[in-house]
């Protein structure tokens, strides 16, 4: 709580950008091989050689074709792991408000997950909750099955679920190590493998893995967490290479300190030190991370980005 309120006081209130359903229309059109109706290509090529009235007629044809294309567009199906709280919740809400069909995964917080669903539905989107531990293969398979049964496919996977079990190396118990590796790394592997099976058949998909700046530079007391997050970066780059020919992009987002339950555990003095190390002098907000993820998940311009790690950390690591 302390972290969240400290960050909140230093932050200019974040307002999520206005969203329009046109965004996912772009996603569908551009993430699949772009096949414009023949009439559009023809009109573009011959535009300079026609009379003004001819241009008007052609614009009408283009508009009509665009409308027809928009009508057959379907909302992307998105799976967000750990979407009941924090960054995952902000991501689910942003994508839901952008018109996606969102599977809201959680481990324990069923009430919070239901609230996320209700908020998405209230904004006109579709959502369902799925309680399951994404470090378990059976749960992951059931989760993907639930998305398929509800909406027929998975277009976007956001591997967000994560935990910390901090402690200095000398005192770190095997259980602390294993729990973090199991969820933060093996969970990403399991979900990615399951989603890629679906996406590769369609030759289309976007996978976004939430790593951390700690996976890039390490952090005292987080041998387990930084190892898992560094592993996610290696996994991201490898899967990006393996699936590029299937038109599946795979990227990692590396947040710095973001106001959430995870950072709320940090103590006063420690937090002061952290804030001093952040050039922008504040924690990030979950909605800011969600904005970057929404871009990578839906924006046509992101179709040419793969295998990258994008840091969002107020300038902490540069």
Ligand X SMILES: NC(=O)c1ccc[n+]([C@@H]2O[C@H](COP(=O)([O-])OP(=O)(O)OC[C@H]3O[C@@H](n4cnc5c(N)ncnc54)[C@H](OP(=O)(O)O)[C@@H]3O)[C@@H](O)[C@H]2O)c1
Residue 184: DSSP 8-state: I
Beta bridge partners of 210: 253
229 in Cβ contact with 211 (< 8 Å): yes
Is the CB of 74 or the CB of 112 nearer to ligand X?
Answer: 112
The interface with ligand X within residues 213-252 (CB under 6 A) comprises: none
Q: Which residues are annotated binding-site positions? A: 82-85, 160, 225-229, 258
Find how far residue 312's CA is from the centre of its chain. 13
State which of positions 192-211 bind ligand X (CB under 6 A): 210
Q: Which is nearer to ligand X, 183 or 230 (CB)?
A: 183
Stretch that binds ligand X, among 14-22, 86-94, 114-122, 303-311 (CB under 6 A): 86-94
* Position among 31, 84, 186, 306 found at the interface with ligand X (CB under 6 A): 84
Each residue of 96-108: b (16+ CB within 10 Å) or e? bbbbbbbbbbbbe
Distance CA 147, CA 128 (A): 8
Best CA proximity match to 202, nearest among 5, 6, 28: 28
Would residue 304 show up in a list of annotated catalytic residues for this protein? Answer: no
Kindly tell me which of 85 and 204 has the beta carbon lying closer to ligand X: 85
Q: Is the Cβ of residue 108 or residue 197 nearer to ligand X in the bound state? A: 108
Q: Should residue 165 be labelled a site residue for ligand X when binding is judged by CB under 6 A?
A: no
H-run or E-run covering 77: strand 77-80
Stretch that binds ligand X, among 7-15, 21-29, 79-87, 266-274 (CB under 6 A): 79-87
Tokens describing residue 297: 């998940």
Q: Which residues contact 210 (CB under 8 A, 6 or more apart)?
A: 87, 158, 159, 160, 162, 232, 252, 253, 255, 289, 293
CB of 130 to ligand X, least distance (A): 9
The Cα–Cα gap between 285 and 257 comes to: 9
With binding defined as CB under 6 A, does residue 86 bind ligand X?
A: yes
85 contributes a contact to ligand X by CB under 6 A = yes
Which residue positions form the known binding site for NADP(+)? 82-85, 160, 225-229, 258
Residue 234 and residue 22: Cα distance in Å, rounded? 34
CA distance 160 to 296: 14
For position 255 contacting ligand X by CB under 6 A, the verdict is yes
| Binding flags for ligand X, 262-301, as an x/- string (CB under 6 A) | xx--------------------------------------
| Cβ closest to ligand X, residue 28 vs residue 206 | 206
Strand partners, 261: none
Which residue of the set 106, 225, 243, 283 is catalytic? 225
Asked if 314 interacts with ligand X (CB under 6 A), we say: no
Give the footprint of ligand X on this chain (CB under 6 A). 81-88, 105-109, 112, 133-135, 160-163, 183, 210, 212, 255, 257-258, 260-263
Residues marked active site are found at: 225
């Amino acid at each position: 709580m302390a972290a969240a309120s400290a960050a909140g006081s230093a932050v200019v209130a974040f307002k999520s950008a206005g969203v329009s359903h046109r965004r996912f229309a772009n996603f569908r059109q551009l993430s699949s091989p772009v096949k414009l109706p023949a009439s559009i290509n023809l009109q573009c090529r011959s535009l300079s050689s026609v009379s003004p009235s001819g241009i008007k007629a052609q614009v009408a044809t283009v508009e009509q074709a665009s409308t027809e294309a928009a009508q057959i567009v379907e909302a992307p199906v998105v799976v967000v792991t750990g979407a009941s709280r924090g960054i995952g919740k902000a991501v689910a809400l942003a994508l839901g408000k952008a018109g996606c069909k969102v599977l809201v995964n959680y481990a324990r917080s069923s009430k919070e997950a239901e609230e996320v669903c209700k908020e998405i539905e209230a904004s006109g989107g579709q959502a369902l909750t799925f309680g399951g531990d994404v470090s378990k293969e059976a749960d992951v398979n059931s989760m993907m099955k639930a998305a398929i049964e509800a909406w027929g496919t998975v277009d976007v996977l956001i591997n967000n679920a994560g935990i910390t079990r901090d402690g200095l190396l000398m005192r770190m118990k095997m259980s602390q190590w294993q729990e973090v590796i199991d969820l933060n790394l093996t969970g990403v592997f399991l979900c990615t493998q399951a989603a890629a099976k679906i996406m590769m058949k369609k030759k289309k998909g976007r996978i976004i893995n939430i790593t951390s700046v700690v996976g890039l530079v390490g952090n005292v007391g987080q041998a387990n967490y930084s190892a898992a997050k560094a592993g996610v970066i290696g996994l991201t780059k490898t899967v990006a290479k393996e699936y590029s020919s299937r038109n599946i992009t795979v990227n990692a987002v590396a947040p710095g300190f973001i106001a959430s339950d995870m950072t709320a555990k940090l103590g006063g003095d420690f937090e002061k030190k952290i804030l001093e190390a952040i050039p922008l002098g504040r924690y990030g907000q979950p909605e800011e991370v969600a904005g970057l993820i929404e871009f990578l998940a839906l924006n046509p311009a992101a179709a040419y980005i793969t295998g990258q790690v994008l840091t969002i950390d107020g300038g902490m690591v540069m």
